[in-house]
Structure 1
Amino acid sequence: MPTPRPVPVPGTYLRSPIGLGRATVSLLGLVIATDLFAVYADLVLYDVTGDLMNGATGGAATGRLDDAETLNSVAGGVQSVALLLCVIVYLCWFWRVRANAGVFAPQAQSMKPGWAIGGWFVPIVSLWYPRRITRDIWDASSPVGARRSYVLVNAWWTLWLLSLLGDRLGTVDYGKADAADQMHSGAYQSMISDGLDIAAGVLAILLVLRLTRMQNEKALAGPGAAPVGV
């Protein structure tokens, strides 16, 4: 006897996540590129402050430090712009795949649709709500009867939280920096944070590609009762 397909919630319909998925992947790639630039800027500052700690003095050393701090400021600026653009598009994609998940398997969604956006911004709950919603979307988007694994989801979320923690520690350390050794330590913390962010970004790309593909394939394989929009 064939397995009955879930009944869509009245008034909802599927919409293709492919366009938003591609845009999100592109912007995640841009964020990774700016993080790589930031790592280079951190390395420059780390090298300069290391020389100052070893006794380098004079106008040349001061000029190198000024240049390194300027480079770090530029890197921080482009990182912020890229991240803002990525967040906007990523949330649009996330809302889209959450809406589709509500059509595929409404009973599998443990949270209301509004949390797909609000869950990222509400303090405390933002530490686990987005991951929970992503798992619900994953369950709804998986082929019927397929074995489910959350390795990718869990790895991405762990690295994301670690990158946030590293960024916070690096920001506090650098913000207090008024000597070469403190700036040296702050640059090291920033390199670690940016490296974690790059790793989290790579896994985020894989997650977006996987969920987008799963939803597209499930929509194409399903009955024509729920039309796929553009």
Structure 2
Amino acid sequence: MSTPTSPGHEAGARQQSSAHQPQGWFAAPPSGPPLDRSFRTLGTALTVLIGLVGLLELVQLAGGIRMLRLLGEVGSGREGLDSDLDAADRLTLQILVPCLLLLLAAGICWLVWQHRLASSARVDRRAVRRSPGWHVGSWFIPVVNLWFPFQNVSDLDRGLGHFSDRDRRPPLVAWWVLWLLGLAVTRVSSATSSMADTRLEAGQVEDAVSLMSTSVTMDLVGTILGAVSAILAILVVRNLTERATRPADTPWTSPHTHVRADPGTPGTKGTTGTTGGAVG
């Protein structure tokens, strides 16, 4: 049975307890055992693939800037401009193919990673709205894939247990918003490029060049958005992977933790207790 203590003693006990709390304590205990080393390896492979996609997008950015500069010279009569435009177009296609292949590999790896995490006992099932199958399938259903994948990853974040305010949380909202914006800009750019081809076939060269310049400019914006969203995606994957593979005996503190004095030990200011049964 605890005895009342003075406010000064209780404040000192809180200070002492706070000093011994490890960085990265859980505000709720992990739901189950951590995932094994292979999941950490999978997460590392996924971040590498996403990083390579981001690097190729930066190369595409340089090619797009060169193409935009060349389009600005159309009508100037400069000798060799046509060959330069053809070379820039070929370079864009040469970069696009490996970029798409890497994007496909990263997408497959992401689906495996997300399915494994959604299937694991480490995630609190009460925080997950959908089955592991839906975590994969929702990426392929039109309209639904604009929102469900974000909800699913957010559920995994919540199901792994929230960290304290001292720890970084994954940038889920920023990642998803930039990802959607990048896709939208790319779609509009593709439609504008098709309009430019139609005008060119009709002999409306000036309109075609103008539309082409607009398309390339939008491509540049989409590439920048894609590169930034790739960086944020890496942060999301690293955050969730680290938390999912964290050892089960990692200390955590309940949000309901309170400090009471230990009357039996002289010189001891207090011990930590919790209404929810803190594990230390």
Give the TM-score, by structure 2 length: 0.69
Matched with 1:56 is: 76
Deviation at 1:5, TM superposition (A): 6.1
The alignment yields a C-alpha RMSD, in angstroms, of 2.5
Equivalent AA in structure 1 for residue 113 of structure 2: W
Equivalent AA in structure 1 for residue 107 of structure 2: V
Deviation at 1:104, TM superposition (A): 3.1
Write the deviation string for residues 86-112 of structure 1: whole angstroms up to 9, x where unpaired.
Answer: 111111111122122x54311111111
Deviation at 1:51, TM superposition (A): 0.9
Equivalent AA in structure 1 for residue 96 of structure 2: G
Write the deviation string for residues 39-75 of structure 1: whole angstroms up to 9, x where unpaired.
Answer: 11111110100111xx322551111111111112112
Contact 1:21/1:212 (8 A) holds in 2: yes
Contact 1:135/1:150 (8 A) holds in 2: no
Equivalent AA in structure 2 for residue 198 of structure 1: A
Structure number with higher helix proportion: 1
Equivalent AA in structure 1 for residue 54 of structure 2: I
Alpha-carbon distance in structure 2 between the residues aligned to 1:78 and 1:174: 21
Matched with 2:218 is: 189
Matched with 2:190 is: 171
Matched with 2:49 is: 27
Range moving further from structure 2, 81-90 or 175-184: 175-184
Matched with 2:97 is: 77
Matched with 2:118 is: 98
Deviation at 1:219, TM superposition (A): 3.9
Range moving further from structure 2, 192-201 or 151-160: 151-160
1:176 alignment partner, SS class: helix
Matched with 2:136 is: 117
Alpha-carbon distance in structure 1 between the residues aligned to 2:77 and 2:50: 41
Contact 2:183/2:222 (8 A) holds in 1: yes
Deviation at 1:176, TM superposition (A): 2.3
Give the TM-score, by structure 1 length: 0.83
Contact 1:173/1:182 (8 A) holds in 2: yes
Contact 2:57/2:226 (8 A) holds in 1: yes
Matched with 1:137 is: 156
Alpha-carbon distance in structure 2 between the residues aligned to 1:202 and 1:7: 29
Q: May I ask how many residue pairs the two structures share in their alignment?
A: 213
Deviation at 1:15, TM superposition (A): 4.2
The alignment-based identity, stated in percent, is 26
1:139–1:121 distance in 2 versus 1, CA, 3 Å: same
Equivalent AA in structure 2 for residue 203 of structure 1: L
1:97–1:4 distance in 2 versus 1, CA, 3 Å: closer
Alpha-carbon distance in structure 2 between the residues aligned to 1:122 and 1:85: 20
1:20–1:190 distance in 2 versus 1, CA, 3 Å: same
Alpha-carbon distance in structure 1 between the residues aligned to 2:152 and 2:36: 18
Deviation at 1:76, TM superposition (A): 1.9
1:153 to 145, 163, 172: 172
Alpha-carbon distance in structure 1 between the residues aligned to 2:55 and 2:230: 10
Write the deviation string for residues 191-227 of structure 1: whole angstroms up to 9, x where unpaired.
Answer: 00000000100000011111111111154539xxxxx
Task: Give structure 1 stretches of 5+ with no counterpart.
Answer: 223-230
Deviation at 1:18, TM superposition (A): 0.4
Equivalent AA in structure 2 for residue 89 of structure 1: C
Deviation at 1:6, TM superposition (A): 7.6
Deviation at 1:151, TM superposition (A): 6.5
